[in-house]
Chain A
Amino acid sequence: MAKTIAFQLNGRQARVRVDDPEMPLLYALRDDLGLRGPRFGCGLGQCGACTVNIDGEAVRSCITPVSTVAGKRILTLEGLGAPGKLHPLQQAFIDEQAVQCGYCINGMIMQAKAMLDGNPHPTEEQIRQELGQNLCRCGTHLRIVRAIQRAAGTVT
């Protein structure tokens, strides 16, 4: 009993046909819509690798049923910016070389994007707290914080 779910994805209309409306959004984005930004890390909402922004909020797509996003605005790392027109966060992550393996970086950037939308000039402590539920195993934390601080200087 397939069902079609429509939403706005990175500024364009998108629709997916799913057998199971309880399927997490992550699989719709990665497997049906071919995106690479949101990443599978735990499927439990514990690590943040799958983070996307839904109506401006940072959300864990691995535990968000696809049926709940009908009609909503979804932004992924792909939609944030691309080579030639990088978002200030993406540019700042390059400038600070704030990546090791980079598997968590989607979540770091999308979490930071939602934070900066509400608080354009966070302190270092606020950034550390805001990212407290985003896990990085390579130990890139200091650079990630600096990158967000750098971006915050340019984001209006």
Chain B
Amino acid sequence: MKNISRRQFLEGSGSLVVTFSLGALAARSAAAAGPSKAALPPLAAKTVAPDEVDGFLAIGADGKVTVYSGKVDLGTGVRTAMTQIAAEELSVPLASVEVIQGDTLLTPDQGPTFGSLSIQNGGMQIRQAAATAREALLVRGAEKLGVPLTEVSAKDGRIVAKESSVAYADLVGGKELALKLDPKAPLKDPATYTIVGRSVQRLDIPDKVTARFMYMQDFKVPGMVHARVVRPAALKASLLSVDDREARKVPGFVATVRKGDFLAVVARTEWGAIKAAEAVKASWSDWEGLPDQSKLWEHVRSTKIVRDDVLQKVGDSAEALKTGKAVSATYDFAVHTHGSIGPSCAVAEVKHGKITCWTASQQTHLLVKQIALMLSIPEQDVRCIYIEGSGCYGRNGHEDAAADAVMIAKEIGKPVRVQWSRADEHGWDPKGPPTLLDFRAALDAGGMPLAWESEIFIPDRPPKFAVPLVAAQLAGLPADVAHPGSIHQSLAIPYGIPNIKATAHTLAETPFRPSWIRTPGRLQNTFGNESFIDECAAAAGADPIVYRRKLIGGDRRGLDLLDRLVAVSAWKPRSRDAARTGGDVAVGRGVSYTHYELVRTYVGAVADVEVERSTGAVRVKRFFVAHDCGQIINPDGLRNQIEGNVMQTVSRTLVEQVTFDRGKVTSIDWVTYPILTFPDLPDVKIDLIDRPNEKPWGAGEPTTAIVPAAIANAIFDATGARLRSVPFTPQKVLAAMKSA
């Protein structure tokens, strides 16, 4: 009876109803979970409901704890952090916890792994589930031991009384906990933590440095064949004809798959698929729908605006702008690609009408919906299983490779592995959209802002969080509308200015499939905000940190953060631009700050740069970061993330931009889309502000937001030139110095 009521509950709540052949899939899932095969509880009863403790946790007969996480580790260390959180709250040793991630049959839908929300939201759901379980175990343990509840405690996987104890396994081992997740279950006092807050070594690293780790790209199933997709000559070119006679001569050739403009070749071996893809002759129609790159910003500015969203409104900025000293600036931020080092890869299998797809997708639950939509089949017939791939920094090509694999597997009736080429990844992953930002301010006699107006021009954001699958688009099958993420965020400013208006103009179209790439929108918007506040401070002749402090007002955490930044960077206040060196190499420092989305992580940075006057080359020498994301789960893991934010964004700021002609992306490898590497990257010094009694906030993105402005402001400090267009290429630096 119990199972029936659970199923009714699942259907009622709209969650995935379990209808797979469970035995075979359980074995697969254990294989997919990684080298240490967790003992899985019986699957027939596994709920994925996010309000059931059993959705998130299982305690095995051997006392091992399995955590089911809808959030996945994209190479950020989140799996280790989730293990710490669950072990701490459940009072079990770290080694007895295993985490299963992103398997739509087993893990609750906790939303895509994006937005620096894995710990903040996903981890806190798991913490609450663990707390609920622990409280129930205390009750059950006290009963079993025959002592009052007040005399037991939880320790090392046991309920302990004065003279007796009982193992969790003996209380619930192998059975369901059958508990509703209690959002009010008391949490452990952080002062008693022994696992959370420590720099536990990451669980995946030993396997990753000994080639034992199984990435998505390593995954195989029996009978699997290999496919490569043959991409159109231009983004929206139509496939006119295919001649695969030469491809058929490749040893091991299996099939050519054509669905509308979707074209792929299949072979028994990976190399055979690559050769067959090269040998196939496809004829495509002309398509030249992209804007002229040299006039990209005119194009963006003239694109039809479908809606204006006012994101922040204080006072009457229009009126106030008529007074005081006027300052204005326009900024732009280039189109970026994710640039994952390993191109996207997926394996799909269709059996008895049911689809299983192994994928490195950051959003397996959403991918199930998208695949079901593409093929017009029920969502229950699709299962997506996460396997970690090469790092992804937002919605890159993983989901598209998954759709490719599903499409091909369905056509040929065999399990298929699709490996994207480097050109596929650079040319066909969805892009960070081009962003244009206008700013205006009026300063009072003391140089402080009386009014502040900002306007951004960004792609439209329909209600659903999805980037359409390229396979569905090419094959002419149903696909979601493009969605680039909440890229209006962080345009609102953390400063107390009497008159503010921040407006997002959403555009009817954008040149490429828009997507979220690390710190989507917040990066571009904070580049504008923090560059422009620096311009205001310079116009006022004020020290930029003193200036910001005045505007932060009473936000104690913001002020603390700037104090710590001053200390870690040994910032010397100055009333005007520091003396600039006279030689060819100009030296400067710049500062940048944000209170992420105005509701979470505080982060500030100081950049030290050198600018070679004769060439315009910029070298970022050092970054100092002060970071407050509340409670820290794993300090070293956090530092690793902050360093990564800085390195990646210095590269994005100085050198990166997608190039294109009228039909296609032309930056399709690492020569045409270079990224910075060892000789050109800065040293980083970090001051972590730990607040164990506060909520843990996200750290995967916030530091990225403040990097470009810190560099731009340092270049201004060094040369007097304002860099308002990312990337800061030597040509732009030379031009800015000329007009400074």
Contact = CB atoms under 8 A, between A and B. Distances in A.
Contacts of A35: 211
Nearest to A39: B342
A156 interface: no
Interface in A33-84: 35-37, 39-44, 46-47, 49, 76-78, 81-83
Contacts of B214: 36
Contact of A142 (B212, B641, B683): B683
Nearest to A66: B271
Interface in A129-153: 129, 131-145
A131 B678 contact: yes
A20 B271 contact: yes
A94 B205 contact: yes
Interface string B370-381: 000000000000
B719 interface: no
Interface string B664-683: 00000111000101110101
Contacts of A132: 677-679
B391 interface: yes
A7 interface: no
B684 A142 contact: yes
Contacts of B648: 137-139
Contact of A20 (B210, B251, B419, B669): B251
A86 B252 contact: no
Contacts of B269: 27, 31
Contact of A141 (B77, B204, B677): B677
B671 A97 contact: no
Nearest to A79: B211
A36 B575 CA distance: 57
A100 B391 contact: yes
A15 interface: no
B679 A128 contact: yes
B206 A97 contact: no
Contacts of A83: 206, 210, 212
Interface string B189-220: 00000000000011011101111111101100
A102 B204 contact: yes
Contacts of A82: 210
A31 B201 contact: no
B647 interface: yes
B677 A41 contact: no
B678 A100 contact: no
A103 B643 CA distance: 17
A46 B670 contact: yes
Interface in B221-277: 251-252, 269-272, 274-275
B339 interface: yes
B504 interface: no
Contact of B421 (A43, A47, A102, A103): A43
Given A131-B678, A139-B643, A42 B202 contact: no
Chain B at the A interface: SS class: loop
Contacts of A41: 341-343, 390, 422
Contacts of B358: none
B636 A102 contact: no
B74 A101 contact: yes
A123 B419 CA distance: 38
A99 B393 contact: no
Contact of A100 (B75, B210, B274, B636): B75
A99 B422 CA distance: 22
Contact of B211 (A78, A129, A144): A78
A76 B97 CA distance: 32
Contacts of B205: 93-94, 97, 99, 102
B210 A106 contact: no
B271 A31 contact: yes
B527 to A, nearest CB: 18
Interface in B548-592: none
A36 B218 contact: yes
A138 B640 CA distance: 9
Contacts of B204: 99, 102
A127 interface: yes
A99 B343 CA distance: 18
B393 A137 contact: yes
Nearest to B682: A142
Contact of B645 (A76, A139, A144): A139
Interface in A96-123: 97, 99-106, 109
A131 to B, nearest CB: 5
B334 to A, nearest CB: 17
Contacts of A30: 218, 270
Contacts of A145: 678
B486 interface: no
Interface in B86-128: none
B681 A141 contact: yes
Contact of B388 (A101, A136, A137, A138): A101
Nearest to B199: A97
Contacts of A103: 75, 215, 340-342, 389-391
Interface in B638-693: 640-641, 643-648, 669-671, 675, 677-679, 681, 683-684
A23 interface: yes
Contact of B208 (A78, A105, A139): A105
B76 interface: yes
Contacts of B208: 99, 102, 105
B210 A81 contact: yes
A134 B274 CA distance: 24
Given A93-B209, A102-B205, A103-B342, A133 B677 contact: yes
B678 A127 contact: yes
Contacts of B201: 94, 97
Nearest to B675: A135
Of the candidates A43, A49, A105, A138, the one having the most CB atoms from chain B within 10 angstroms of its own CB is A138
A19 B252 contact: yes
A19 B251 contact: yes
Contact of A49 (B211, B339, B341): B341
A105 to B, nearest CB: 6
8 contacts: A20-B251, A20-B271, A27-B269, A76-B211, A94-B205, A135-B677, A142-B647, A144-B678
A-B complex: 10 closest residue pairs judged by Cβ atoms = A101-B75, A139-B647, A101-B391, A139-B644, A37-B211, A102-B208, A103-B390, A128-B678, A19-B251, A46-B670
Interface of B: 74-77, 201-202, 204-206, 208-215, 217-218, 251-252, 269-272, 274-275, 339-343, 388-391, 393, 419, 421-422, 636-637, 640-641, 643-648, 669-671, 675, 677-679, 681, 683-684
Interface of A: 19-20, 23-24, 27, 30-31, 35-37, 39-44, 46-47, 49, 76-78, 81-83, 86, 90, 93-94, 97, 99-106, 109, 127-129, 131-145
Given A137-B648, A142-B647, 18 more contacts: A30-B270, A36-B211, A40-B217, A41-B341, A46-B670, A49-B342, A90-B210, A94-B201, A94-B206, A97-B636, A102-B204, A103-B215, A104-B341, A129-B679, A137-B341, A137-B390, A139-B648, A141-B681
